[in-house]
Amino acid sequence: MKLLLTTSQGIEDLAKKEVGNLLKMADLKGKVEEKPLGVEGRIWAEIEESYYFDKKGKKREFEIASFLNENSRLLHRVILHICSTKISSLETGRALTEIYNFVFNSPIEEYAKVSESFAVRSFRKGEHEFTSIDIAKIVGSAIYDKLSKFGKPKVNLDHPSVIFRAELIDNVFFLGIDTTGDSSLHKRPWRVYDHPAHLKASIANAMIELAELDGGSVSDPMCGSGTILIELALRGYEGKIIGIEKYKKHLKGAKMNALAAGVLEKIDFIHGDATKLSQYFESVDFALSNLPYGLKIGKKRLIPDLYMAFFNELSKVLEKRGVFLTTEKRVIETAIEENGFKIKHHRLIGHGGLKVHAYVIS
Ligand SMILES: C[S@@+](CC[C@H](N)C(=O)[O-])C[C@H]1O[C@@H](n2cnc3c(N)ncnc32)[C@H](O)[C@@H]1O
């Protein structure tokens, strides 16, 4: 079985590693490849089918897609791969005809029964003169026409039994069955408070991986709605976890989220200022934070002073490593270096249409 897995751009290697570990945990054999056909934010997993015997001694197939949906922290979607190709022309008429023919000639009937209602959800990225709705329509009609050979297909756009996912990323086309459903996995059910700049849970987990935590204390000194710390606590982290946030409204929201996640008692939330970090603790082993970027013009000019004061305080308390995200490359690099830290790792991560810089420092 082949799965197309989606995640954020720039963390494919970490997601690939996670999938490899999950396969090992479930005693499954498979091959995992990042960026299939050169597409960022995508992973292919080819997994050998595996069976087990239930309590009644009946042989059953292990549901690998459900297993990944339930256990992955870095993936966004788990899609049963049907087919993929490189579209030879991106001129609207020709591209849509090519997609129609390609879908019609693929083994749709092996993945969906004509008796099951279906819908097509689409995703498009790159330079095209047609929309994702055009793709959904053409793929939907190819599936309908193909299934018509077996009876009368049923389309249900609101509550389909089977969701086909069609993606066109530049000239690469993927078609599969979306086993995740309409809500991406990074939208965690515990998020009852919606911070205006909250981090995707998948990226929070990528930061946790990059930090290589060893059980020592962890703080997010500008924790917003608590995403990084809540995800850390949900992973069963045993060390001390401390969140600091300047604004009461967000701190209250972080507590509500932690309560919804069932980890409120595992996190110390402090109403405080990250530029006075040493007032709250003498030392901390790890600091992980998605820093304010100051996208609002009025606030942008405050960022250099904030970063400088924060990294200065951090230099008084940080024992091991820090992992930070920001769009402000020059400002953060100056603050890191002027306060005696070294950049150990840097990468770009796609987040909400932006490329953000991730740094590991010590
Ligand atoms: C980008 S947001 C963090 C979002 C968070 N990762 C989440 O997922 O909700 C940055 C946060 O830093 C907070 N902040 C700004 N200046 C601060 C300071 N001096 N001390 C503590 N928190 C601060 C902001 O109120 C905001 O909630």
Query: Which pLDDT score, from 0 to 100, does residue 49 have?
Result: 86
**Is 354 a residue whose pLDDT tops 60?**
yes
Query: Which pLDDT score, from 0 to 100, does residue 119 have?
Result: 98
Query: Which pLDDT score, from 0 to 100, does residue 55 have?
Result: 87
Query: Which pLDDT score, from 0 to 100, does residue 331 have?
Result: 97
Query: Ligand 1: which of 186, 202, 245 to mutate, most ligand atoms within 8 Å of CB?
Result: 245
351 CB near ligand 1 (under 6 Å): no
Q: In this predicted model, what pLDDT tens digit does every residue of 240-275 receive, in sequence order?
A: 999 999 999 999 999 999 999 999 999 999 999 999
**Is 343 a residue whose pLDDT tops 90?**
yes
What distance in Å separates the CA atoms of residue 256 and residue 191, rounded to the nearest whole number?
8
Shared domain for 160 and 15, answered yes or no, is yes
Q: In this predicted model, what pLDDT tens digit does every residue of 65-76 receive, in sequence order?
A: 999 999 999 999
Count of beta carbons in the 10 Å neighbourhood of residue 298: 7
In the chain, the amino acid numbered 116 is: E
| Cα–ligand 1 centroid distance for 12 (angstroms) | 26
274 CB near ligand 1 (under 6 Å): yes
Shared domain for 91 and 52, answered yes or no, is yes
Query: Ligand 1: which of 246, 271, 307 to mutate, most ligand atoms within 8 Å of CB?
Result: 246
Query: Which pLDDT score, from 0 to 100, does residue 51 have?
Result: 84
| Cα–ligand 1 centroid distance for 11 (angstroms) | 23
| Cα–ligand 1 centroid distance for 199 (angstroms) | 11
Query: Which pLDDT score, from 0 to 100, does residue 297 have?
Result: 53
- Cα–Cα distance list, 283 to 71, 99, 201, 219 (Å): 33, 58, 26, 10
323 CB near ligand 1 (under 6 Å): no
The whole-chain average pLDDT of the chain stands at 96
Report the nearest-CA residue for atom 7 of ligand 1: 198
Residue 354: beta bridge partners?
Answer: 351
CATH code, domain with 80: 3.30.2130.30
Q: In this predicted model, what pLDDT tens digit does every residue of 283-302 receive, in sequence order?
A: 999 999 999 986 655 677 89
Q: What secondary structure does DSSP assign to 32-76, as a single string? A: EEESGGG-TTEEEEEE---EEE-TTS-EEE--HHHHHHHH-SS-S
**Is 216 a residue whose pLDDT tops 90?**
yes
Shared domain for 17 and 162, answered yes or no, is yes
Any domain includes 186: no
What single-letter DSSP state applies at residue 200? P
| Cα–ligand 1 centroid distance for 251 (angstroms) | 9
Output b/e per residue, 109-135; b: 16+ Cβ within 10 A: eebbebeeebbbbbebeeebebebebb
Q: What secondary structure does DSSP assign to 123-137, as a single string? A: EEESS-SS-HHHHHH
Give backbone dihedrals phi and psi of 192, rounded to 5 degrees, phi first: -95, -20
CATH code, domain with 301: 3.40.50.150
pLDDT-based confidence at 229, cuts 50/70/90?
A: very high
What distance in Å separates the CA atoms of residue 202 and residue 257, rounded to the nearest whole number?
16
106 CB near ligand 1 (under 6 Å): no
84 CB near ligand 1 (under 6 Å): no
Mean pLDDT to the nearest integer, 338-352: 97
State the pTM of this model.
Answer: 0.96
The CA-CA-CA angle for residues 94, 100, 103, to 5°, reads: 135
- Helix and strand element counts for the chain (H, E): 10, 17
Quick check: 108 and 40 in contact, CB under 8 A?
no
pLDDT-based confidence at 60, cuts 50/70/90?
A: confident
Any domain includes 161: yes
Query: Which pLDDT score, from 0 to 100, does residue 300 have?
Result: 78
Quick check: 35 and 7 in contact, CB under 8 A?
no
Query: Which pLDDT score, from 0 to 100, does residue 299 have?
Result: 73
Give kind and range of the element (H or E) at residue 242.
strand 241-245
Locate 224 and state its tokens. 């917003």
Q: In this predicted model, what pLDDT tens digit does every residue of 170-196 receive, in sequence order?
A: 999 999 999 999 999 999 999 999 999
**Is 54 a residue whose pLDDT tops 80?**
yes
Shared domain for 159 and 221, answered yes or no, is no
Angle between the N-to-C axes of helices 201-211 and 227-234, in degrees from 0 to 180, rounded to the nearest 10: 70
Quick check: 233 and 263 in contact, CB under 8 A?
yes
250 CB near ligand 1 (under 6 Å): yes
Quick check: 49 and 1 in contact, CB under 8 A?
yes
**Is 167 a residue whose pLDDT tops 80?**
yes
Structurally, the chain folds into a number of domains equal to 2
Last residue of a domain, one of 178, 209, 244: 178
Query: Which pLDDT score, from 0 to 100, does residue 62 have?
Result: 84
Per the rule left: phi > 0, alpha: psi between -120 and 50, beta: everything else, 204 is alpha
Query: Which pLDDT score, from 0 to 100, does residue 5 have?
Result: 98
| Cα–ligand 1 centroid distance for 167 (angstroms) | 34
Shared domain for 137 and 281, answered yes or no, is no
Give backbone dihedrals phi and psi of 133, rounded to 5 degrees, phi first: -70, -40
Residue 270: beta bridge partners?
Answer: 244
227 CB near ligand 1 (under 6 Å): yes
Mean pLDDT to the nearest integer, 98-127: 97
172 CB near ligand 1 (under 6 Å): no
Q: Which residues span the domain enclosing 233?
A: 201-361
257 CB near ligand 1 (under 6 Å): no
Locate 338 and state its tokens. 């002027």
Total residue count of the chain as it appears in this document: 362
Shared domain for 241 and 150, answered yes or no, is no
Shared domain for 112 and 27, answered yes or no, is yes
